[in-house]
Structure 1
Amino acid sequence: MTLRIRVEGAGVAAWTAAALLARRGCAVNVHAECGAQERIVAVPAKTVALFEDCLGVAIEAMTPSRWVEKRCVAWEGRDLTGIPARALVCDASALAEALRVHFIDEMDASLEHEWVLCAKGRTRGDTVVEAGVRRAVVGRMEIPDGFPNEAMVVAATPGGWIFAVVRPDGDLAVVSIDPSIELVAETVLRESVDFLWPGFGAQVLVLGAGTAAPSFDRTCATQGRIALGDNALALDPLRGDGIGFAVRGALLAQAVLGAIASDGAIEARLDYYRDRLSHVFLGHVRGCAAHYEAAWNEPIWRREIVLMRSVLRRIPMDNKFRFRLIGKELRST
């Protein structure tokens, strides 16, 4: 049975799923709204390899990027410690646009569809569980003297924590996460920068702000509709590999639809998709709670930790699954 699928979204998850489904023989139409804000990410080396294995194209060949070799962390203490962690730095929105250009000719222009894959970003509502209210503020600035160009920096600050890495174009990308949406976003980011690199806070160009708490849509898979990427499950950047989750989520969604196309059995596959993402969400929240509890600035995170622990108490974790993903296919256990 050939499925007709409409993919809604313009990010890496949407285009990865669309490409994989088209290669399965599905008729895929992509409805993408362009113009996404740039988002500098550090993609772990394992995810870079997974991306190329799944799609047959290399991130480095598609968009400007640069490798870093370690992560400099100041979390339980205030001194930066280097940890080997090879990653490729790139702009996730530029990568998504490159995927669109590369795969657009494989898509079907028909508007008729039986299934919708929604990958239009974070969502809110009665069915969405949110594990906190913390916020991310994104900016760019000149590189401070002494910044480790071959590394990314993750450091706790008096007001939250900060991620910084040299961009492919040579400036410094900075993201601060804070626990209080009541504070002025620009102030939080600049104070975090000044804590690590005194005098540089005023130089920061603030690009935007948004929520950074993990969230999960409990109705992420229903008859005729599957949510994908952040629309289904959004990660805290402290412990989240956004590109990796986008690719793995696309792999899972296309495998579920491939299995449905093969034998027409829908409900069991949708149950598995929801249960699998719920399991990932709860494991992620548990790891985040432990991570914030270990920070030297733990007192400012106590409300967030309480909210995360509350989510873990409310939602049971199911470790038994009827299927598992092997390569690009869903198999019975």
Structure 2
Amino acid sequence: MTGSGGAAVLIRGRGVAALAAQHTLAANGVGFAVEPGPARGAAPVVMLGEQALALLRDLFGPSCFQPSSGTFSGAHAIERRIVRWGQGEPVTVPHNAVAVTGAELLSGLAPPVPAPAPVCAEGSAQAFTLYADTAVPEPALRLFGEREAAAAPVTLAAGADAAAVLIEATPLGWLFLIPLGATHGWLLAVGAEPDALLGHSRLVAPAIASAGAVEARFQTAPRMLDHLTGPDWLALGSGALAFDPLCGDGTATAARGGILAAAVASAIAGDCATESLDPAPLLRHYRAMLIAALRRHLAACLPFYRNGGSGAWWRAQAEATAAGHDWCTQILAAEPEPGFVLRGNRLVARDTVG
């Protein structure tokens, strides 16, 4: 493999994780090439919380997705989260976030400068490959529940709070209303069709004047590839690890995963500051860190699915979440203590950290 003068790393795919990995590799002086592949359908709406915004602004610039910025004027400020869960009354909590469409998210994130190095010439060392939301050599997927979301555009009712996202549990599933402006937004319905869930709603339904037809369907249950790494590759992005939007910020997860994946690839390739390291412990560390993140996420989700409702759907999701948490616990119990620590953009051996 080569250092900054050639493509030591090949990134296949596109998305937030791929862009975060590109910026991290560039910062480390590691040459890389990109094969973006075909464009995927963008998410109808994405909410970026404080952690996601901090990561994106650190990687892509301080004006990134500022609601007052002319460059990213599509970002809509969210100031509150109003939640009605189980049999309780609505609870309002402060929430510093912005909402954007999926297309706005990706168009607002620029690739790094300078441009990536050309692909490794024929006969040169095999590049280490990062698979970002694209087909991986071993695609078996582990799913922790079954929670298809239906997304539909909505017109907000007169007087609706356009600075608040609304989250509500119903007997059949849950609703997530995300405004994108003063008069419009998107509704996510998880567990049943929007009309069925709205028929049980006391919080979300009154905030909607009209709902359009469902425009997208996608899985929201937490999921992870069975095989996240191979001898000369690793997977990153939502195709490798994805969180339930109820308790996780998918964009922050993708950005953090991209940074960690690029740090692993930098250590394997050998960047401008270090010699290359043995891939096996680095790849094992990467897998353990993703499983640990998934375990924390499942622990956060479990009370919501245990307390959201008493019907069969709620029980099934709670059982799947608990089983996933137990699986993560068993896997991590067999792993040694993490051998590396992320310092800036690089992984360093834990025993060298003072």
TM-score, normalization by structure 2:
0.82
Contact 2:167 2:176 in 1 (8 A): yes
* Among 156, 173, 177, the residue aligned to 1:160: 173
> 2:281 matched to which residue of 1?
268
- In structure 2, relative to structure 1, the CA distance for the partners of 1:122 and 1:166 (3 Å cut) is farther
> 1:304 matched to which residue of 2?
317
> 2-side partners of 1:295 and 1:131: how far apart?
17
> 2-side partners of 1:150 and 1:201: how far apart?
16
* Displacement of 1:164: 0.9
* Among 205, 217, 232, the residue aligned to 1:197: 205
* Displacement of 1:217: 1.4
> 2:162 matched to which residue of 1?
149
Structure 2 residue 33 is matched with structure 1 residue 29:
yes
Structure 2 residue 316 is matched with structure 1 residue 326:
no
Residue type at the aligned position of 2:8: R
- In structure 2, relative to structure 1, the CA distance for the partners of 1:299 and 1:146 (3 Å cut) is farther
Contact 2:157 2:206 in 1 (8 A): no
* Among 228, 231, 238, the residue aligned to 1:223: 231
* Among 89, 95, 99, the residue aligned to 1:79: 89
Structure 2 gap ranges (5+): none
Deviations 1:43-65 (Å, cap 9, x if unpaired)?
11232122212333522355320
Deviations 1:248-268 (Å, cap 9, x if unpaired)?
111111111122223332111
Contact 2:32 2:117 in 1 (8 A): yes
* Displacement of 1:36: 2.3
> 2:52 matched to which residue of 1?
47
Structure 2 residue 132 is matched with structure 1 residue 119:
yes
Higher helix share: 1
* Among 35, 43, 55, the residue aligned to 1:38: 43
* Displacement of 1:104: 7.4
Contact 1:286 1:312 in 2 (8 A): yes
* Displacement of 1:198: 5.6
Contact 2:150 2:188 in 1 (8 A): yes
SS at match of 1:206: coil
SS at match of 2:214: strand
Structure 2 residue 245 is matched with structure 1 residue 237:
yes
SS at match of 1:230: coil
SS at match of 1:142: strand
> 1-side partners of 2:76 and 2:338: how far apart?
39
Structure 2 residue 65 is matched with structure 1 residue 59:
yes
Residue type at the aligned position of 1:254: A
- In structure 2, relative to structure 1, the CA distance for the partners of 1:274 and 1:283 (3 Å cut) is same
Structure 1 gap ranges (5+): none
Deviations 1:78-104 (Å, cap 9, x if unpaired)?
53221011111112332223325x547
- In structure 2, relative to structure 1, the CA distance for the partners of 1:163 and 1:292 (3 Å cut) is same
Residue type at the aligned position of 2:227: T
SS at match of 1:85: strand
* Displacement of 1:313: 3.2
> 1-side partners of 2:168 and 2:137: how far apart?
29
How is 1:95-114 mapped onto 2 (pairs within 5 angstroms)?
A: 95-100=105-110, 102-103=111-112, 106-110=115-119, 114=127
* Displacement of 1:72: 0.4
> 1-side partners of 2:240 and 2:262: how far apart?
14
> 1-side partners of 2:81 and 2:242: how far apart?
23
Deviations 1:257-296 (Å, cap 9, x if unpaired)?
1222233321110000011111111221232122211224
Structure 2 residue 302 is matched with structure 1 residue 289:
yes
Structure 2 residue 253 is matched with structure 1 residue 253:
no
Residue type at the aligned position of 2:13: G
- In structure 2, relative to structure 1, the CA distance for the partners of 1:201 and 1:137 (3 Å cut) is farther
> 2-side partners of 1:325 and 1:168: how far apart?
38
> 2-side partners of 1:168 and 1:147: how far apart?
11
SS at match of 1:238: coil
Larger deviation: 118-127 or 20-29?
Answer: 118-127
Deviations 1:116-175 (Å, cap 9, x if unpaired)?
211126989774221111111111110123322111111112321111121158521111
Contact 2:172 2:311 in 1 (8 A): no
* Displacement of 1:234: 1.0
Contact 1:78 1:156 in 2 (8 A): no
- In structure 2, relative to structure 1, the CA distance for the partners of 1:174 and 1:232 (3 Å cut) is same
Contact 1:190 1:201 in 2 (8 A): no
* Displacement of 1:193: 3.4
Quote the sequence identity (%). Answer: 23
Residue type at the aligned position of 2:45: I
Q: How many residues align?
A: 324
- In structure 2, relative to structure 1, the CA distance for the partners of 1:25 and 1:226 (3 Å cut) is same
Larger deviation: 199-208 or 87-96?
Answer: 199-208
Larger radius of gyration: 2
> 1-side partners of 2:134 and 2:196: how far apart?
29
